[in-house]
Amino acid sequence: MNDHKPLYSREELLTLLDYVQHKAKEETKMQVAECMLDYGIDSKLVGAITGLTAKQLIKR
């Protein structure tokens, strides 16, 4: 008989999952952008392809 309350509600878990998914996509975009920049691709083109802003590209 294990009558314990769940740590998170369904809505909280879905919100957390959405956050993690969004962060993973952003991290993947940054990794792709870094590789493109390493290969000498123009930063404006990298931004256009990845959807990242110039400020985001400079931050990395």
Q: Hey, where are the domains in the chain? A: 29-60
For the chain, helix, strand, coil in percent to 5 are: 70, 0, 30
Enumerate the H helices of 1-60 as residue ranges: 10-38, 43-50, 54-59
SS3 7: coil
Out of 20-24, 35-39, 55-59, least confident range = 55-59
Q: How far apart are CA 3 and CA 11, in angstroms?
A: 21
Q: How far apart are CA 33 and CA 23, in angstroms?
A: 15
Percent of the chain with pLDDT over 90: 77
The average confidence (pLDDT) of the chain is 91
